[in-house]
Structure 1
């Protein structure tokens, strides 16, 4: 990984990315023509500056944001490890111009138009968690990781009838490849291996401002697998959160997964969603946990793709090539 500098109140240049509150992250300049000739297989979409910064610091050989002709979005190229140490995954990262599913769908469409080699799009960022302290196996806390292995519940895409509300149609399923790898990481966790934890520590040495903001800095995130709800609602009500969670069996709720899943499916791509829990979607919601939640999601994505063999672009149908021994 190239040197990356976290600068506070320092001089800002073209290679520095704002992450809010006067803080900047320095990335190496992109080489001439690198965007035009890039062949990333995975695209990562983020909605907030904190999310973008967290992924940036965990990309290897990350370059400063650049643009593609005809596309207003900024993109960062880099790599992430695969199961073959000699063949890392080529990645492209972008930041939405706004939050919400419409912005996510538009960004996904722009990304795959500008980088047609991309086969899989991953939404990596924060969400509100659904607490269940009386059910420890389902309790989702701030600082935890929610993985959409069961998919996305588009809970506002419904038909309203006199006898009640019904979903209009099933939502497309997430990437079978990444679901399988997430299940493998779950098996590793059962036997005490949590490869995302060193990546959390690594990110926090670069962005110390994103450290866990409570009095238990050594506490580690739980990883919860299940269904994540997505619609254009910014929740600030525990009552509505719990009603939605009970109806759809949700572990978390956010505002971009629907857009990523719909746009990816329409383009013949695979998609996946990983979220760090930053709040509970209630009246006490603040920005306090955003940085840390962004880091844990990014760390999990890096650990997930590290278990994936190198892929050859196949127009939305990834195919593993070669073989590698697990490190």
Structure 2
């Protein structure tokens, strides 16, 4: 098997096949257009024996094609029987003719297939045409647009100054965030983040006092973007001491502030290792107090101040109420919330 490479000073591009091989790798085949809804090389019918090909440009296997004005393409009469005929209009690169041209391919009960021979005749589709039995004209409904379009490489830059939002363009903001353009604006598509969740250190407080859970306590914060500005978060504390009893409700910071005035909710589970009951509850963000932390952690209580999930009364969690939260106990908060 012979090896080859070009262009170099001693191995320049000298043939059509080399040119095609070289440039077909730089761009996929298709019509140049700012939108699939544009008229570039679009085929339309108007109850005539011809269909019209609009002006436009295209790329076929490394060769450039241009049509500068509306072009009429003749439609052969369907005189072959009592069934509709399914045809295809293609853009054909033909090296033997030294040209890329529009061609009309007649079919039958099925549409004809594309001819695609590497370094030979290569076709891409523009339109499907259905011609009724015995008909010589095509109504507008008889044409289906099946154009292929050239691709656009992804671009990157700063979110502070993006290029115009050309439809179908992918933009990478700041190296991680993916946006796709719809022709009018840039829309968030996803984020390239490391596998697994990210860590942060939750800060616990009661009023103006930062809570000391004891040296070596397990204070865990984990978060991961789910989609757009939706994040999953998990917070867990296992103390190694018995904090001072505070009158204010316990609060804890989130990795990012919440969106607007939303009262976000989270699931809570408390397990005691000191002979007191376990419980489930919920945590809530009060944006009027703070958008960056959970403001209340609440559990259901019965009349006697003991846990009872069937009773509608609730109590705000404090360091020593409604249980004495201390060494070995575990509090886990998890949920999904919308960041600002």
Q: With the length of structure 1 as denominator, give the TM-score of the two structures.
A: 0.20
Larger radius of gyration, structure 1 or 2? 2
Greater helix proportion: 1
